Chain A
Amino acid sequence: MLKNTLLQQAQAKIEEGVTDRERYDKLVKAGTRIIYDEATFKQLSQGITEAENPIEDVAKGMAAILNMMAHKARGTIPHDVFIQAGMALLLDALDFMEQAGLVTVTSDVLDEATREYIEALLPTVGLTPEKLGAALDSLKETMGDPQRMTAYEQSRGAK
């Protein structure tokens, strides 16, 4: 249970979008065990206390731990569940850091942590800025075609 109210709100917001609750819970539980494992925890906490920017480091650390789990799951868990579970772990870690007196979690801190986490995580699943740019470019034709966009709008309305 998170103690910081801002983090609680963020957690609730993240969980609103969770569609595969079973896998999400499983990943969060597994991730928590890894983070609070003695060896991992010592290295994480040491890295964070010595870091110039602990927010950046904890966010990247979460992305790295998520990668370990992704490797272990061997691609059987969709990326969206991983991304959501990783964010939940990051919120947990930020809450812990605040309790330990390492940071004061404000809106700016949460924004920065989220950005760092996404920036660290996406390239590891293949979405480098270049690949992302190429993917977005491929949308231009579709978005410039009124008929296609109307079909998209209709598909959204049908849901």
Chain B
Amino acid sequence: MPIIAVAGAFAGASALATGTLTAFQTIAAVGSIVGGIGAVTGNKTMMKIGAVAGLAGGIGAFAQGQGWIGDGGASSAADAVSMADDVYGGSSLSAGSSAMDIAASQASAFGDSFQPMTDMSGGGLMDSGPIAATASTPATDMSATQTANPLVAQSPTVKPTDVAKPVPGKKGVLDTLSGFFDNKDMKSIAANFVGGMFDEEKKQKAEYYKTAADTARAKMENGKAVPRMDFRLKPKEDIFNAQSPTYNGVRPSGLMFAGK
């Protein structure tokens, strides 16, 4: 197993085990990234996938909050480890192992300097440890001499780009997201609730009806309005001399034509 893949397996196990974010929140985050990049590059497919992921993530997280569905994905460390194993094709990561057990069993892959982290705060990410401690001078050219980075220098045949290759012909995660709303039923449901975001004609119709409904509603409100019959007169000070001995107060009937 490539060294990076081992690191990946650890990450997958430990990150999911804490349950810091549900599957749906992750899907929503992916939607934000993919949709954002699609908007910049003008790629409509990516915008659609981003919108689908954002919508699915949002609805999923809400539904979870309401208790309508489960966690929508792996929720246990064992499940996560099992998945990491599937991804990297490793046989040594058993579903019953904890992340730390795996770390211990695979520690030799990182060399003697690998120490499982005991600081659970994550605050030391930048300060020390096997990665940052060896991050010395930034390389300035491609021929920079190799130094001892325990995470990458153990095997000259392993490259940081050695990650699990997807199985050819197998559907990827983005295909899965895209395919979700290509289902006719889902398209129809989405059209009803999000203004037909995946169907241009339906979207335009939805916008037209929304505008028409707004206009009708405004007219109805106007029609319902009862005119106020009480007069609120604010005569200009210079029209009537309230100090005059002949001034007898405001007489509405007389004021109707006062300004003419």
Residues of A within 8 A of B (CB): 6, 9-10, 13-14, 16-17, 26-27, 29-30, 33-34, 36-49, 51, 57-58, 60-61, 63-80, 82-84, 87, 100, 107-108, 110-111, 114-115, 118-120, 122-129, 131-136, 138-144, 148-149, 151-153, 155-156
* Chain B interface, >50% SS class: helix
A-B contact pairs, 8 of them (CB 8 A): A17-B32, A41-B139, A63-B163, A64-B8, A76-B20, A100-B142, A125-B16, A153-B193
Chain A neighbourhood of B143, CB < 8 A: 42
Q: How far is the CA of A29 from the CA of B16 in the complex (A)?
A: 23
Cross-chain contact A126 with B74 (CB below 8 angstroms): yes
Cross-chain contact A74 with B171 (CB below 8 angstroms): no
How many chain B residues have a CB neighbour from A under 8 Å? 103
Q: How far is the CA of A39 from the CA of B4 in the complex (A)?
A: 14
Cross-chain contact B10 with A37 (CB below 8 angstroms): no
Contact of A38 among B38, B145, B174 (CB under 8 A): B145
Q: Which of B54-62, B208-216, B242-250, B251-259 is the interface stretch?
A: B54-62
Q: How far is the CA of A6 from the CA of B66 in the complex (A)?
A: 40
With A10-B37, A132-B27, A139-B56 given, is the CB distance from A37 to B135 under 8 Å?
A: yes
- B107 proximal to A (CB < 8 A): no
Q: In the complex, what residue of chain A is closest to B118 when comparing beta carbons?
A: A74
Q: In the complex, what residue of chain B is closest to A136 when comparing beta carbons?
A: B180
**B62 nearest CB across to chain A (Å):** 5
With A76-B120, A135-B60, A136-B180 given, is the CB distance from A38 to B173 under 8 Å?
A: no
Residues of B within 8 A of A (CB): 4-5, 7-12, 14-18, 20-21, 23-30, 32-34, 36-43, 46, 56, 58-60, 62-63, 66, 68-70, 72-74, 79-80, 83-84, 86-87, 117, 119-122, 125-126, 129, 131-132, 134-139, 142-149, 151-153, 159-164, 166, 170-177, 180, 185-186, 189-190, 192-193
Chain A neighbourhood of B166, CB < 8 A: 119
**B203 nearest CB across to chain A (Å):** 16
Q: Known pairs A38-B146, A126-B74, A144-B189. 15 more at Cβ < 8 A?
A: A14-B33, A17-B33, A42-B145, A45-B142, A60-B163, A61-B161, A79-B25, A126-B73, A126-B80, A127-B27, A131-B73, A131-B83, A143-B59, A148-B68, A156-B58
Q: How far is the CA of A55 from the CA of B14 in the complex (A)?
A: 28
Cross-chain contact B56 with A136 (CB below 8 angstroms): yes
Cross-chain contact A51 with B193 (CB below 8 angstroms): no
With A33-B135, A69-B125 given, is the CB distance from A13 to B59 under 8 Å?
A: no
Chain B neighbourhood of A33, CB < 8 A: 126, 131-132, 135, 138
Cross-chain contact B23 with A131 (CB below 8 angstroms): yes
Cross-chain contact A42 with B125 (CB below 8 angstroms): no
* Chain A interface, >50% SS class: helix
Cross-chain contact B84 with A51 (CB below 8 angstroms): no
Q: How far is the CA of A52 from the CA of B159 in the complex (A)?
A: 14
Cross-chain contact A42 with B131 (CB below 8 angstroms): no
Contact of B59 among A73, A129, A132, A139 (CB under 8 A): A139
